[in-house]
Amino acid sequence: MMRPTLLVSLVCVAACGDSVQSTATAASEASTATDTSDGTSPTSTPTTTTSPTSTTTATEGGQTDSDTGTTIEPTTSTTTEDSTTTTTTSETTSTTTSTTDPIDTTSTTTSTSTTQAETTTTTDTGETTDEPPPACECPDIEVPLDDGIFVLSGDAELWKYFPESNSFTMLGGLNCGGLVSTFSMAVDRQGFAWVQFVGGELRKVDVTNVSNCEDPGFSPGQLGVNNFGMAFVSNSQFDQCDRIYGNTYSGFGPFSEGPNIGDFLSIDPDSLQLSKLGKTNFDGAELTGTGDGRAFEFGGTGPAKLVEVDKASGAALEVLPLGGLEINNGAFAFAFFAGDFYFFTDSDNDFFASEVTRLDYDDSDMNGIQDLELLTSDAPLLIVGAGVSTCAPVAPM
């Protein structure tokens, strides 16, 4: 995603409380009288109350067999409830029982009153729909972020490259207030291309409307850094939020390789403050990031190299020499898409068109080799920056 000094890259039940109405009838050899409140006939009748979905049996007035000590139950009142409604309205029944013992002249009157109130059960089956979306969710926009690689021309045009068809489409020319000398580019998960100009100015360009160019408020020259190759990289496989990582370019002479001659950096996504994280062996290298949190650099001379780096320190985790692929003094950039790397280089120094080379990094053809294949030698633009959103696929499509 870079060019040399002159070029640029970016979550009831209504227990109807069974009011079980129990009527206790006392048994004796003497007469038994039942008096109801409305003066009906003196007949002892079990009372049954129906309520939703429960069955209760109530027993009172048991006698004890003196030989066995077993309780004999003379009268049993059973309440059976069978209803499928959720609202029950009950009546109030008052029962008065008077018992006279021929031996004991004491008269006992028991009054039982049962009241069942209206009960309503309400079940809420609605779902909550106002939960916030997942953090850093990829948007559904007119220019998708998951079907190709955004590339930046040396004359400030934004294009899109489609790996599946090996074709390019121009999205339009940038309108960034006179800034035209591009250096590098990175694309975030919200649909903005962060374009870096020679001298370090950063602008956000809406990929759905490239004439919309905004100043995000980044201050160039922090810690003495002006230009750097850059890319957005997800925080991890489980945290899709991303941030910018980069590799510095001193601005002096051609891009070069040597022990600890470059700095690996990151930019805080909120404050836009730049931090140096460690040393690298590249003075001028491009970066690309993946949706599962990996960062890679492309740089070096004789031949160029693909390096997976530790995002915390910039230390090389794996170095893969790219025999036959060179970075001369022309523009260069690269990006990761669906398991493979795509390199955009000006290997023949014609300053008008770029070559496109694919590295079969995941060995999708299963031949045991990470093949380098030249896809085209005459792209319709000179590419100085490439950016792929971390919304793009990590595995082959």
User: pLDDT per residue over 149-166, tens digit each?
Assistant: 999 999 999 999 999 999
Other Cβ atoms less than 10 A from the Cβ of 370: the count is 15
Match 């109405």 to its residue by tokens: 21
User: Which letter, b or e, does each residue of 113-146 get, where b requires 16 or more Cβ atoms within 10 Å of its Cβ?
Assistant: ebebeebeeeeeeeeeeeeeeeebebeeeebbbe
CA distance 126 to 207: 39
Burial of 67 (0-12, 13-18, 19+ CB in 10 A): exposed
CA distance 341 to 352: 22
Average pLDDT score over the chain: 76
Which secondary structure element, helix H or strand E, spans residue 80, and what is its range? strand 75-80
Instruction: Using a cut of 0.85, tell me whether the model's pTM lies above it.
Output: no
Closest residue by Cα to residue 229 from 182, 272, 287, 282? 287
Determine which of 94-108, 116-130, 327-341 has the lowest per-residue pLDDT on average. Answer: 94-108
By residue count, the chain amounts to 397
Give the pLDDT confidence score for residue 26 in this predicted structure.
34
Give the pLDDT confidence score for residue 151 in this predicted structure.
98
Give the pLDDT confidence score for residue 33 in this predicted structure.
38
CA distance 153 to 184: 10
Other Cβ atoms less than 10 A from the Cβ of 316: the count is 14
Helix then strand count (H, E) for the chain reads 0, 29
Determine which of 4-8, 157-161, 176-180, 188-192 has the lowest per-residue pLDDT on average. Answer: 4-8
- Evaluate whether 282 touches 261 at the Cβ level (below 8 Å): yes
Instruction: State which amino acid sits at residue 267.
Output: I
Q: Residue 172: beta bridge partners? A: 158
Residue 245 makes CB contacts below 8 A (sequence gap 6+) with 230, 231, 232, 233, 264, 265, 266, 267, 287, 289, 295, 311
Give the pLDDT confidence score for residue 280 in this predicted structure.
98
Confidence of residue 132 (pLDDT cuts 50, 70, 90): low
3-state helix, strand, coil in the chain (%, to 5): 0, 40, 55
Give the pLDDT confidence score for residue 134 in this predicted structure.
76
Q: What angle do CA 341, 346, 352 make, to 5 degrees?
A: 125
CA distance 296 to 306: 7
Give the pLDDT confidence score for residue 185 in this predicted structure.
97
Determine which of 5-9, 126-130, 313-317 has the lowest per-residue pLDDT on average. Answer: 5-9
Q: What angle do CA 42, 48, 51 make, to 5 degrees?
A: 150
Residue 145 scores a pLDDT above 80? yes
Token pair of 394 as six digits: 């990590």
Confidence of residue 84 (pLDDT cuts 50, 70, 90): very low
Instruction: Give residue 309's region: left, alpha or beta (phi > 0; psi -120 to 50).
Output: beta
Q: What is the mean pLDDT of residues 358-374?
A: 92
Confidence of residue 330 (pLDDT cuts 50, 70, 90): low
- Evaluate whether 337 touches 344 at the Cβ level (below 8 Å): no
Token pair of 288 as six digits: 């690309």
Give the pLDDT confidence score for residue 278 in this predicted structure.
98
HSE-CB of 307 using CA atoms within 13 angstroms: 23
First to last CA, the chain: 23
Residue 36 scores a pLDDT above 90? no
Confidence of residue 217 (pLDDT cuts 50, 70, 90): very high
CA distance 154 to 158: 10
Q: What is the mean pLDDT of residues 291-299?
A: 96
Burial of 247 (0-12, 13-18, 19+ CB in 10 A): buried
Q: What angle do CA 32, 35, 41 make, to 5 degrees?
A: 85
Determine which of 55-64, 178-187, 192-201, 321-330 has the lowest per-residue pLDDT on average. Answer: 55-64
Residue 115 scores a pLDDT above 60? no
CA distance 345 to 357: 8
Other Cβ atoms less than 10 A from the Cβ of 226: the count is 17
CA distance 235 to 231: 12
Determine which of 125-134, 170-179, 239-248 has the lowest per-residue pLDDT on average. Answer: 125-134
In the chain, pLDDT over 70 holds for what percent of residues?
65
User: pLDDT per residue over 182-205, tens digit each?
Assistant: 999 999 999 999 999 999 999 999
Q: What is the mean pLDDT of residues 275-289?
A: 97
Q: What is the mean pLDDT of residues 325-332?
A: 81
Residue 358 scores a pLDDT above 60? yes
Determine which of 7-21, 28-42, 119-133, 357-371 has the lowest per-residue pLDDT on average. Answer: 7-21
List Cα–Cα distances, 320 to 297, 299, 363, in angstroms: 10, 11, 14
- Evaluate whether 34 touches 42 at the Cβ level (below 8 Å): yes
List Cα–Cα distances, 114 to 54, 78, 272, in angstroms: 17, 15, 74
